[in-house]
Structure 1
Amino acid sequence: MQDKRLEKDLETLGKTLVIDESLRKYLDENYTAMKDMDSRRKGAVGLLKCATILLACIMGIGVVGTINPVLAKDIPILYQLFVGLNQTFFNDTPYEQYAEPKALSMIDNDIEVTIEEIFCDQHEFGYTYTIKSLKGKLKQGDAEYVAVFTDETIKINGEIFDSTTIYGDGNYQDDYTYTGMNIYESLSLLPDQFGLSLSFTEFKDVTQEELNIAGKWDFETVVTKHTNPYSKVVEVNKKLEVSEPALFELEIEEIGFTPLHIYIRMNASEKEVAKALDVYDIDFTLIDNLGQIYLPGNGGMTRNEEGIYEWYKTFSIPEEFPSWIAIVPSCVPYDEGEWIPKKRITKEEYTGILPVVIKRETLGDYSIIEVRQQEEDVIVRVKAKPMQNHAYLVLALEDGDERRGGSTYKEKGEIEWRYKDCKVEELQGFELEDRSERFDAEQMIKIEIN
């Protein structure tokens, strides 16, 4: 069945894209070779996956996602980064405006590293990369999805770049190939165009058992900042007096709209905020005049050399451009004796009837609106509320088993959870883990956008 679906998708893709004859012949030859190889392999991962790798490497998965969104949904996406790249304000700006194809390759110790694409917005830049072993197997363990840590030196216009945050993800495509992404955040605005130098010396996972390689791979290129008609940076320079969990003054520096997300930059002096951070984590939520959903993204807090705490937080993109946005701080108590947020777990039985509404204190309901089987995975779609916190949804399965998954933000405050290797008929209930977050709507600061 997968073969037939792939054949149909490839046929449609061939009609959608303009491919010269030599490239089309190369695709056909590799597709046939992969099909033969797949039929001989015991426990093979499947032809669909192999062909997707081929398509992504040759044409760029971003083209598929932009020109034909149906294909993007039906074909497994290798580069999860590009899902976000296509989520612009009104979904009408093409992917190509926000990522530059690079295909820069270096070989050392029989390992080929390729920088596939690079994107850059106001405070972030990132890239997708492929590691390919030209000799022995790259994959050492059984895991398919592995977060890889990179040891690299980054220079922007010849100066060492010191990022505040780095995060990434990736997965094996086969025993010899790993594809991943890295995203870096900076408290300073990045130049509109700059020379980028990336020097890698190591790729490894946290256990150093699934992947652990060393060498020297150096890349140099020019990066252009990506914007769209809705990109905007608002210099705020306003202060908010926060009274809970302790009295401190929060200075709001900047709010930015980019093709990928909304971000806020804030700071507070060490003397004032240190007392609060001893017993609480501090988080933030956005609300606006249109009542739109702003789901929390990445980013975090750092302390600079002067002892100032600095926040750079990102949120999902709204459906419409608001006239004002308000920042609402919240406090999250630490678990007793632990330097981690205190968890609050709410359980709800699943009987097959939807929606399943999980009630939460002060934060609004968490509504499960769809549960479906997609091949070997269970997909759960939920609807969030404007005062959404960092909640994690766990599946309770029969025989006391449970499954933890990964989430993707969709439009209009919807979140899609994916749980691997389980069945809908095994599902007994849901467990929602949140961070016991407490909001005080009286404490907020409103910023005019227009």
Structure 2
Amino acid sequence: MSGSLRTSAELQRAERHSAHNYRPLPAVLESAQGAWVRDIDGVDHLDLLAGYSALNFGHRHPRLVEVAQRQLGRLTLTSRAFQHSLFADFCAAVSGLCNKDAVLPMNTGAEAVETAIKLVRRWGYEVKGVPPGRAEIITFDGNFHGRTVTIVGFSTDPAARDGFGPYPRGFVSVPYGDIAAVEQAVTPNTVAVLIEPIQGEAGVRVPPPGYLTEVRALCDAQGLLMAADEIQSGLGRTGDTFACDHEGVVPDLYILGKALGGGIVPVSAVVADWPVMSVIGPGQHGSTFGGNPLACAVATEVVRMLETGEFQRRSAELGAHLHSLLAQLPVGAVAGVRGRGLWAGVDLTPGGPPAREVCERLLSRRVLAKDAHEGTLRLAPPLVIERDEITWAIEQLESSLRENR
């Protein structure tokens, strides 16, 4: 069977037996290393998506694979009904990375966001004194925090939200980047501001300079918690450990995920100081797989890799190269570029090919990328990518944009 026919057959087989909640690009991948993936036809592609930042350290990073394989031969799951020998090291490593007191481990990003919502609500009732059932959380237009019913209930994306109600109350959405709107939304029942320091799914939207500092100051003045969703933006992606670091802002809660699992296992966590974390007691929240030995082994090694600063520096330096190349793309095809570090949103000029079509053109040129929405490309290569690989990838993007124009 020829390559294209084999790929087509595999896609059709998957279509028959899987829910149609994704529309993947027409490639079937079977192996990978570093920034490159190979499809079932033996064709290598450069990965510019990195699993939405889950693969910050690339595919099958040797240090992470070694740690995972070693742990697979020892102990993989206990549930939190019992302690295991890696748990204390994991908690110390992650809390130390965030300079916080304590960690509540979960698995997926959405679980971590749900955990943060529970924490700030309970803090609001027990510490701030909000009347029971009245806690409010300020969120932002264009947000993406996950796919649970609670989370999509405060999404402003119709595709994510419509048809899944009724939704839990207690969320007030305001325009992203508008500090006056945040201030106006505060009521005596407001307990927290839940913010992405950079909005990834919205097209890598970077807030105005000083905005995170203003949000932090407002939370301090009003007695609110600041919860930063760093699931996509954190752990080296933007050229610093956290996107909040670029403004010297320390949130009350860090929400982590994706890259914390090294592209090997799902690992997420909420990290906070004890005045917040202590409001949750035994039996009030948990997860069978949260903080399991395999996850702790991988995540602890991820923290060790970040402690050297190597990946943050690579993201900053290679990100500068990436953005310099993106700035040179044809003006007639590109309306604007945003981003920070090895993360960019490329807005296409209205009237040109949609972002999905550009991604398909890139696929034919052996580059994997993803559309954030119809008019925006999202680029987030692994932090292990090389400078010449970035140059080659943007050359392919430029050729794709000029194609049939």
- Give the TM-score, by structure 1 length: 0.29
Larger radius of gyration: 1
- Between Structure 1 and Structure 2, the one with more strand by share is 1
Greater RCO between the two (CA within 8 Å, min separation 6)? 2
TM-score, scaled relative to structure 2: 0.31
User: By percentage of residues, which structure has more helix?
Assistant: 2
